[in-house]
Structure 1
């Protein structure tokens, strides 16, 4: 999470460090206290009845055959049943038939896995409704544990190989983020707690742990922390106002409707706001860390820049970053909702009704609020970074309204060409046209 800036920042004056400590430490204490107060008690679990036994196995043989005719229905004549048809032999490696061979029908239907010899699959044992003592095996899905393990190992190796110690810190921060989400945020909301306070507290806790662990305990990181926290609070306020103005209920997805049937204590409207907060955090810390580092690098490269000049220069970088990040947010939501977008193309309702429907209005509000929080993060973090970076200078250097350095006049092109074509000391004179056939020719290299 966030950008990587490994160059050490210039030392911050002790007075500025004390101010940052007096600002950040109370916020950390408040976050820890809120975490303890909101810590979930006993989590309600969904009663799913008797679980269907699942066992692992390996496909040893696949036999396909023509499908039998489908029975005649009132809607139309009989035809050939949907395929494929046949049998699959599986060597069972778990359960009561461990070490034996069982036969299952070839998986068919929407979303059915396509199996081949050598595939590792998951079997489910289904009891016969007429005789519960008799059960038959069916292939449910492929085993994905080993491919996922190799993918995670490759991911971790690439991060460590490129980032080294900073990569290790980033992986530790990622683990901490998942730990906080799975032990505090998700159980707290499942237990019936208010989703918005839990999400803000969990996001703040993730922010403190990840940013300081990944980027170090520095003034630059503290500025990014303050900018991120302020933007998160603003995002929560904007999300509350936007969902109230658009009268969103949180029932805009099939998952939310299903959740409401199993856990009626969950506030789906608050859950929508919590999703906006958590989803914005990952992009917010990238923007705030980048802006804080940009101000620091500009001040280090040119100590003569005033506070206002630092703010303006870093804001130009922030504008370019926001312009690309906005597209990233929209495409991320579009990619996650691609089946929904395809479904909309088949909808015969007018476009205005589709855009204002609950499920699509929810995504529009989510994207708009997250973007507004990002836009606010740039001036907020940049201004804080400019104040902290120039705090140790004298009054004349830190004056934002002070006189700007007079730029050197640009040399005339003809004078520059004449100077380049002049002979060096001790060398024979060479006419200018011999060296520069066309004085107006561009000297820039061709693309």
Structure 2
């Protein structure tokens, strides 16, 4: 017998649990109201958000699009060591001709690194145009145009998600939109404005998870149990992140980009950003395991309505342990893929991984992975306990299939 608060495919046994649904609704609404209120308090005024100068703006400087019409390589003596003992790519540079939209044809020089990476006739590129008074107009390569392929991939992804997952897929896409809105309009500006990064991360992540979970998985007691487990994981990751960042002396300054950022936003707490990133980076996998654990408990309860809670917990944890193992691998593989260039450079320099692991740049990612994994591991048993407690329980033994009284 289904109750009014459940959209789950797993049936409920016993009478409708309207009382429990009402209590959980009040609790979730209170958490949501607290998160929204905190967002309102932390939401930065636009004047408080530092704004750096656009490197592609200035008097006589503009950006434009063009199509490559010719590529002529030439020897530019590239190779050996450059300034500050940096290695230069050995190879030719190229004189590139382009058809500039709305203007005459133009040319620019492409350095050996860019030319070696590959450029061909017909490629769509972005250029920087310098038209300074008293000087001839010149052009500089910025990047390739990627708007169409990125849009096409996004459309293909959305169509497949909706076609296969249907309404759940559509609501999941809405959840992605909510996440992007919270990140770009609240969390990132609040970081730049000097608000406490870990507080902003916890508040923003809480609001995101409430919206995403109920949009993607429906309003039900099962989803609420996953939400509670997710919120626990967020809290544990935040706490561990703060402790680990201080313990390992991570300053957040690991590259030239970090130095430019702190120069642009002097109130920014980069060390706090490192801890906040641990919370945000772990949301996807954390959400995955908590939803899976809640669903596992519901399905196990549907199959064994009279089983004791301890038995359901033990069965669900066997599933959870497998999920923990695969999720930990996911975190490691995700980092290895995103940091492939750094790892290749370490290998090329013949420096030991143990030595490089203690550097700021690699240390941040290692701590982020470990802290995220700790929060993930702890969230699994907690979510399972909550789900076992909230899952429906049969009050009478159901009749065996095919057996009729009399």
Pair 1:64-2:72 in alignment: yes
Q: Which residue of 1 aligns with 2:107?
A: 104
Alpha carbons 1:288, 1:381 under 8 Å: kept: yes
Shift of 1:202: 0.5
Distance 2:210 2:336 in 1: 30
Distance 2:328 2:321 in 1: 11
Shift of 1:191: 1.2
SS at match of 1:123: strand
Q: CA RMSD in A?
A: 2.6
Q: Which residue of 2 aligns with 1:8?
A: 9
Alpha carbons 2:77, 2:92 under 8 Å: kept: no
Shift of 1:139: 3.5
SS at match of 2:70: strand
Distance 2:73 2:250 in 1: 52
Instruction: Please give the residue correspondences for 1:161-200 in structure 2 after superposition, counting only pairs within 5 Å.
Output: 161-200=163-202
SS at match of 1:110: helix
Instruction: Please give the residue correspondences for 1:117-128 in structure 2 after superposition, counting only pairs within 5 Å.
Output: 117-127=121-131
Q: Which residue of 2 aligns with 1:385?
A: 387
CA offsets 1:136-163 (integer angstroms, 9 cap, x no match): 2333322111111111111111111111
Pair 1:37-2:38 in alignment: no
SS at match of 1:170: helix
Distance 1:324 1:181 in 2: 27
Q: Which residue of 2 aligns with 1:437?
A: none
Shift of 1:349: 5.6
Shift of 1:347: 4.3
Alpha carbons 1:326, 1:371 under 8 Å: kept: yes
TM-score, scaled to structure 2: 0.85
Count of matched residue pairs: 375
Relative distance call for 1:259 and 1:65 in structure 2 (3 A) is: closer
Shift of 1:120: 2.0
Distance 2:77 2:34 in 1: 69
TM-score, scaled to structure 1: 0.78
Distance 2:263 2:281 in 1: 25
CA offsets 1:143-193 (integer angstroms, 9 cap, x no match): 111111111111111111111111111111111110110110001111111
Instruction: Please give the residue correspondences for 1:204-353 in structure 2 after superposition, counting only pairs within 5 Å.
Output: 204-347=206-349, 352-353=354-355
Shift of 1:84: 3.5
Shift of 1:339: 1.6
CA offsets 1:261-317 (integer angstroms, 9 cap, x no match): 221110001100110000111111111111001000111122122111110000100
Alpha carbons 2:346, 2:353 under 8 Å: kept: no
Relative distance call for 1:74 and 1:312 in structure 2 (3 A) is: closer
Distance 2:126 2:352 in 1: 44
Alpha carbons 1:56, 1:92 under 8 Å: kept: yes
Distance 2:121 2:352 in 1: 49
Distance 1:325 1:240 in 2: 22
Structure 2 unaligned blocks of 5 or more = 1-6, 84-89, 398-406
Q: Which residue of 2 aligns with 1:408?
A: none
Q: Which residue of 2 aligns with 1:55?
A: 64
Relative distance call for 1:132 and 1:312 in structure 2 (3 A) is: farther
Larger radius of gyration: 1
Structure 1 unaligned blocks of 5 or more = 1-5, 76-80, 398-447
Relative distance call for 1:126 and 1:348 in structure 2 (3 A) is: same
Alpha carbons 1:223, 1:292 under 8 Å: kept: yes
Distance 1:57 1:115 in 2: 13
Shift of 1:23: 2.3
Shift of 1:64: 2.1
SS at match of 1:269: helix
Alpha carbons 1:102, 1:137 under 8 Å: kept: no
Between 1:256-265 and 1:33-42, the stretch displaced more is 256-265
Alpha carbons 1:227, 1:377 under 8 Å: kept: yes
Alpha carbons 1:107, 1:114 under 8 Å: kept: no
Distance 1:351 1:115 in 2: 34
